[in-house]
Structure 1
Amino acid sequence: MKSFRRHRRLRQNRGIRRMVREHHVSPDDFIYPIFAVEGKGLKTEVPSMPGVFHFSLDRLNEEVDEAVEAGISSVILFGVPEDKDACGSAAQAEDGIVQRAIAQVKERYPDLYVMADTCLCQYTDHGHCGVVKDGQVVNDESLHILAQTAVSQAQAGADMIAPSNMMDGFVLAIREALDRAGYTQIPILSYAVKYASAFYGPFRDAAHSTPQFGDRRTYQMDPANAREALKEAETDVDEGADMLMVKPGMAYMDIIHRLRESFHLPIAAYNVSGEYAMVKAAAAKGWIDEQAVVLEMLTGLKRAGADLILTYHAKEAARWLKEGE
């Protein structure tokens, strides 16, 4: 008589479980977001994101030092300017907050891989990701500002440009501008598939980028759409993207998987602020084991097909992984 299969044989102890584990999470997988702000002596916690802070430039090194010590090899810099206007002109300023932060970090850690978020929402007084005319976000006029912003970030020393604005043609506009300026070797991590998600609330607190009118549904994707994600990604690949981002991550693991099956470029997942805040809130109540949940969540993103994970948990997760070695 044929016996039943004993799958548990390969689960008997930690050694065998580690040997047959199909997906592994490493600090090398993480991109750590850091928020730079104007001012002096500032390390101000974002109320909706426990453990995430705004840093003035004179204290920015403290955070970068911690990230490097934890084993993080890549960071992405977001900036909150002092002055905003309708066109987000501070985004492309040579002495802009992100540009100065990039230069400072690269001077201290030349081998740390520094990415620059390329969007206008933090820099516009209306909070939208492009230029607004007659109450509408206009696409083509926004592209020039985004392209010049990318060039200024590259000039400051950014290793990679990560545009998150979701304007049509933004990858092509940025690629052409970088190439014209001589930055042909600077890659683009495109936020190719960015949904109009309810999970972004805490980030908008951190970046001071809540739209002052309307919403972003005319340029960010409908959460109900999956086939459209492939169309968006294919367009960005054709326009010159070197890597593709899916944002958010947890609620869109099926989209990460679809992109992994369809494209041969590296895929990044953004474990966004709302996902982070929910874990932190539940952990503070004692309802979950934070370490176990975070590592399971990050493993899930890798299993879905992500090569890289942009996550606010990066420092803690890197330390936990090191302790578990």
Structure 2
Amino acid sequence: MVNKPKAILLYSGGLYSTLALHILTSQGIDVTALTFITPFYNYDRESKAFKNILETVNRLKCRLKVVSLEEEYLSILKSPKYGYGRAANPCVDCRILMMKHAKRVMEEEEADFIATGEVLGQRPFSKTVERLETIDREAGVEGLVLRPLSAKLLSETIPEKKGLVRREGLFDIRGRSRRVQLELARKFGITGYPPPAGGCLLTEKAFGKRFEDLKRYNPNFSLKDAILLKFGRHLRLDDKTKIIIGRNKSENEQLVKHVSPEDIIFEILDYKGPVGLYYGTLDDSLLKKAASIIISYSKAPKNFPVKVKFYNRLGFEKIVESGAISMDEVHLLLIK
């Protein structure tokens, strides 16, 4: 019995990587789907998107391997060798990191090659021929990465040369149009895939503004600092002071979940309102300004003073009395 060729597919659950999965399995290739979870993806193991990944992998009788990227990701986020895209996205460095992990998994599983759902020209920053070659070279996987959707536009890979993959069964898709991909999706019976914008928050301009602010005023930021950019409204009070205010119950819970013992939480006494986090100088005027802002976002009366409690888990506590300020004043402080 001849052993099937084995591939490690970088699998996000999106349309393009799902098409790559179908193309490979239709050629009789044994696929292990490799899914990465980063702090900035819109899914985790409990999300609907992740459950869709499990469902697809099980339906096609493939294996799934999940790798979580956290501290490694922080180092490239702070200082990416190949820079950022339009927002806070270090796409090239991120891809190199993922490819290095894919290489390790390929060696562990004794697979023949790596595959991705990448399309040439899909992203101006990271999907050029030169960038793809750079990624493969930096990760030490030159010639071993098959990109089925654009393979006919790229140099022949080792698995193609060895006859492990039929090149005539691959494609020559280029650019941002999804016409051919949607036709292939219909052919393979693929439905329920996520929208084309992707799941990485780092590509969003609003998130990028918050990240620029964090990097400027706190260059030694921690992974927790970066994760908190995902939640709430962020307002800068001065060069050393920033506050975060939850927009709903879920965000309030996330803010409290991510605080360290020394982090200062603030919330309104006696009235319903959001949770806030306070980072910076414990100056009375700044505390009063933070109190005024959270009151403005609450159900508390706006025409007389309201008490706001500032505290942390190390025993710090201070009650500040203040009144609301206008939303025009608040909007001037928003990081957006």
TM-score where L is the length of structure 1:
0.30
Which gives a bigger RCO, structure 1 or 2 (Cα 8 Å, sep 6+)? 1
- Larger Cα-atom Rg: 2
